[in-house]
Amino acid sequence: MKPVRIILMLSSLLLLGCGGEGGGTSETTETVTVSPTSISVTAEGGSVSVSISASSAWTAYAADSDADWISVDPAYSSSPKGTLTVKVDANDTYAAKTGSITVKCGTTRVSVPVYQSAQTVDTSIECPLSGYSLVWNDEFDYEGVPSTKKWKYQTGGSGWGNNELQTYVAQSTSEGTDVAYVSDGVLTIKLLKENGTVYSCRMNSKDAWTYGYMEASIKLPSGKGTWPAFWMMPYNYTTWPGDGEIDIMEEVGYNPNVVHNTIHCNKYNNGGTSVETATRTVSTSQTAFHTYGMEWTSDYITFYVDRKATLTYKNDGSGYNAWPFYNPFYFILNIAWGGNWGGLQGVDESCLPTEMQVDYVRVFQK
């Protein structure tokens, strides 16, 4: 009977397939063949078919860092041979992308690089300052919700310490009323009251930048209690104001048409001095589009209203307390309601609904 037991034990070991769970250690080497061995797509994106030949069932996935622009179907196949569809979203940036997918059978993994070309730079969009080239923009030349590739939403109430009265939601209220949408080449962010709650939207760019010329064309809302802003916060934020804040444009409705440009850091924070803040009266800020910009280098930040300089804040070389502005910062577009500054003279709900409109947001770098 001993020979029979040996044969049965050997047969059991041979039946252990690649990738089997709970089957112990197998000496079998799994194989995976993938064709093509690399993928290249244009900036427009698209789908590519990949042939898979494995020794048993296999799985496929995009790298975590690439999952927002690369997807695969199917993610699992019980058949050793099959076709995998790799979908690459359109590249809405002016930089080429490199990512990867992985096909796995048991412990064997095959990585397939994915290359995507950059979007063609619109050379008709020129920087008002010399020496800069366009690297990112949203012209809002589409219809519907704001681009989910470029923007994300910060939701909640109270303004994170500013005692604001609005509730920020993503795109629409619980009743389905839009608070952020794109139409006729313009982004509209609304401030409205519905069922006793004032709603608005706070949009953050997914990308962040260090240095460059940043500019947006904006028409401001009206009404006492409104507090619109186009500003930037550090991507790796840990503490405020220590890590810095850059307010390219702010206005409060009780002081209409007076726009503010301000920096915040440990050394200068809400002091109201001419070192850290400037104001400019724009008589038609609520009825017409105006440009609000900033040139940011390692030595200074200069703010612009309608491309005329209003304030230059210089790096005095004293360190982080005065100059935390050497890290990546992202954009924020929002309308607050009330709060420590916006509600300083009360609010007037008769102005609701009101809205801020944005024609474009652009980033240029050297």
| 175 in catalytic set | no
End-to-end CA distance of the chain: 82
Per-residue model confidence (pLDDT) at position 19: 44
Per-residue model confidence (pLDDT) at position 121: 80
Residue extents of the structural domains in the chain: 29-116, 133-365
Per-residue model confidence (pLDDT) at position 92: 79
In angstroms, the CA 309 to CA 293 distance is 9
| Residue that is written with structure tokens 């924020």 in the block | 332
| 30 in catalytic set | no
Provide the 8-state DSSP code for 178: B
In angstroms, the CA 289 to CA 184 distance is 14
Calculated CA dihedral for residues 307, 311, 312, 318, nearest 10 degrees: -150
Are the C-beta atoms of residues 108 and 34 closer than 8 Å to each other?
A: no
Active site residue: 215, 245, 251, 295, which one? 245
CATH number of this structure's domain 29-116: 2.60.40.10
Per-residue model confidence (pLDDT) at position 70: 96
Active site residue: 250, 251, 276, 355, which one? 250
Question: E strand or H helix at 327, and its extent?
Answer: none
CB crowding 243-275: b at 16 or more within 10 Å, else e:
bbbbbbbbbbbbebeebbbbbbbbbbeeeeeeb
User: Can you give the pLDDT of all 366 residues of the chain as single tens digits?
Assistant: 444 443 333 333 333 444 444 444 444 689 999 999 999 999 999 999 999 999 999 999 999 989 889 999 999 999 999 999 999 999 978 889 999 999 999 999 999 999 999 988 888 899 999 999 999 999 999 999 999 989 999 999 878 889 999 999 998 998 999 999 999 999 999 999 999 999 999 999 999 999 999 999 999 999 999 999 999 999 999 999 999 999 999 999 999 999 999 999 999 999 999 999 999 999 999 999 999 999 999 999 999 999 999 999 999 999 999 999 999 999 999 999 999 999 999 999 999 999 999 999 999 999
Per-residue model confidence (pLDDT) at position 122: 81
Per-residue model confidence (pLDDT) at position 28: 62
In angstroms, the CA 58 to CA 34 distance is 12
- Model pTM? 0.81
Q: Which CATH class is domain 133-365?
A: mainly beta
- DSSP lists the bridge partners of residue 146 as none
Per-residue model confidence (pLDDT) at position 4: 43
In angstroms, the CA 99 to CA 92 distance is 15
Candidates 120, 59, 113, 57; CA nearest to 84 is 59
Angle at 232 between CA 226 and CA 238, to 5 degrees: 110
